[in-house]
Amino acid sequence: MLGSGLGALGALRLLRRAGVPAYSLSVGPSFESSSRWFRPLPGTHGALADAASLARVLQASPLERCVLIPCSDTLLSAVAEIPPHLAARFPSSTPPPAVAARLTDKAKFAALLDAIDVPRPRTLIVDDSSSLDGIVDMQIRDLFLKPVDSARFLQSYGVKAYRVHDLVDARAKLAQIQADGHRVVVQEYVPGPGSNHFLIDGFSAANGQIRALFARRRLRMYPPDFGDSTHMISVPLAEVEPAVQSLRAVLAALQYRGIFSAEFKFDARDGTFKILEINARVWIYVEFAGRCGVDVCTMSYRDALGLPTADFPEYRSGVRLVSPYLDLAAAHFVWSQRQLSKTAWLRSWLGAQQPRFNWTDPVPAITDWWNISWNAVRRIVRRA
C-alpha cells in the first residue's frame, strides 16, 4: 500500500482478510500505523515524496516481488513513472499515465466527457479572466471554480472548490488562484441536497472488462457543498442504472484498467445522473465496499499478477456507514437548516458501520479518538 490515511488503512485490512501479506509505504505518519496489520516496507526510512524517491525505495527493497497499490493521485502517477525493470518486479493493476491524467486533470476530464457526450454539468475551461466572457446562458450564482489538480488545491486552500457570487467575484478569485500557480475550470453547480449524490465504485481488469461494481448513496456530507460523505448507504445497481451506463461508456473509451470510484449527482431538473468525477485509485471508504462484499483491493492484487478475478461479486444493499466526527459537523448544519431532527439523526447512527473502527483491528479508532480528545482539551486549556 502506497499512501497514508483511511483509504490505506482500508486497503491494508482488506488484503489481510484475504490472506495476502501486506506492507505499507507511507507518505507520512497517520493512524493506519497503529493497525495490528501495519508493517513498514523492509529497508525503508523516511516518508515517500515523489516518483524518484519511490524508485529508490523499490530498488533498495529486499523483497523479490510485490504488487503496488497506490492510495492517492500523486502516488498513482509515481507508480506509472517507475522504470520498466522495477515495474516488472513491482507490478500494479493501474491505468497507463495518459489515461490516469485524463481522469485526474479536470480540464482533460471535461473534454473527455464532451467527446463521449454523457450527462454532465456544463463546464468551461478557463485560461485567464477573459475566458469568463464565454459564460452566456449559465447563471453566475450557479457556478463554481473547480481545480484542475484537486490534491494541490486542497493542500493550498483547505477546500475542494470555490462558489462565486457574481462575475466580479469570479474574476477576483480566478486571479488569486492563478497567481498561486493553480488552474481551474468553471463548472455548473447541480442543485439539490447531498442525498442526490451517488457513487459507483469498482474494478476493471487488464483486458478492460469491468469485473465489479458497487453503488452507494450519500445521505449527508460536510462541508455541505463540496465535502466528503459523512453518512451513506449501499444501494442496488438497478437504482442507478443510467449512471452505470454512462460510467461504462467512459471506461470503455479509455480501455481503463484498475480500481475506480465515480461520483454522480442526480439532477431533478432533467431527471439525469450527471457524472462529476472519477477517482482512478483506492478511495477513502474502500473498506466499506469490501465489508459489503466487493473487495477491489484483492482484485487489484490478483489482476496485477495475472491471476483470475471473481466476476461481479454480489453485495449487500441497505448497509449504512457513518463517519462520526465529520457527521457531527454535518448534523449541526442540517439542524440549522431544519432539515433533520436530532432524534432522526441519532436513529441514523443505530446499526451503522464506522470507517475507522473494526472489531478485529480496534486500535486505529481508539488512537484517533484519543488524539482528537487530547487536542480538544488542549484548546480548552489555551482559552482558559
Rounded CA-CA distance 211/227 in Å is 29
Rounded CA-CA distance 299/75 in Å is 19
Residue 145: band (very low, low, confident or very high) from pLDDT cuts 50, 70, 90: confident
Per-residue pLDDT at 133: 66
Secondary structure of residue 242 in the 3-state scheme? helix
Rounded CA-CA distance 317/234 in Å is 5
Q: Which residue has the higher pLDDT, 305 or 167?
A: 305
Q: Which residue has the higher pLDDT, 284 or 332?
A: 284
Cell of 217: 448513496
Which residues partner with 212 through β-bridges? 203
Residue 124: band (very low, low, confident or very high) from pLDDT cuts 50, 70, 90: confident
Residue 89 has pLDDT above 90, yes or no: yes
Residue range 196-207: average pLDDT?
Answer: 95
The answer to whether residues 1 and 12 touch, using CB atoms and an 8 Å cutoff, is: yes
Cα Rg of the chain (Å, integer) = 21
Residue 317: band (very low, low, confident or very high) from pLDDT cuts 50, 70, 90: very high
Strand order in the sheet with 123-125: 123-125, 184-188, 143-147, 162-163
Which residues partner with 146 through β-bridges? 185
Per-residue pLDDT at 42: 78
Residue 46 has pLDDT above 60, yes or no: no
Residue 176 has pLDDT above 60, yes or no: yes
Which residues partner with 168 through β-bridges? none
Residue 125: band (very low, low, confident or very high) from pLDDT cuts 50, 70, 90: confident
- Of the segments 11-25, 51-65, 121-135, 153-167, which one has the largest average pLDDT value? 11-25
Residue 351: band (very low, low, confident or very high) from pLDDT cuts 50, 70, 90: very high
Q: Which residue has the higher pLDDT, 81 or 301?
A: 301
The tens digit of pLDDT for each residue in 246-262 reads: 999 999 999 999 999 99
Residue range 215-242: average pLDDT?
Answer: 93
Residue 231: band (very low, low, confident or very high) from pLDDT cuts 50, 70, 90: very high
Instruction: Indicate the pTM of the whole model.
Output: 0.91
The answer to whether residues 69 and 297 touch, using CB atoms and an 8 Å cutoff, is: yes
Angle at 329 between CA 328 and CA 330, to 5 degrees: 90
Residue 140: band (very low, low, confident or very high) from pLDDT cuts 50, 70, 90: low
Tell me the helices (H) and strands (E) count for the chain, helix number first: 14, 10
Residue 50 has pLDDT above 90, yes or no: no
Element (H, E) at 175: helix 167-179
High-pLDDT (> 90) share of the chain, %: 49
Rounded CA-CA distance 15/67 in Å is 12
Residue 357: partners with Cβ closer than 8 Å, 6 or more residues away = 364, 365
Per-residue pLDDT at 27: 66
Per-residue pLDDT at 154: 84
CA torsion through residues 13, 370, 42, 152, sign: positive
Mean pLDDT of the chain: 89
Q: Which residue has the higher pLDDT, 166 or 60?
A: 60
Indicate left, alpha or beta for 3 from its phi (over 0: left) and psi (-120 to 50: alpha): left
Residue 332: partners with Cβ closer than 8 Å, 6 or more residues away = none
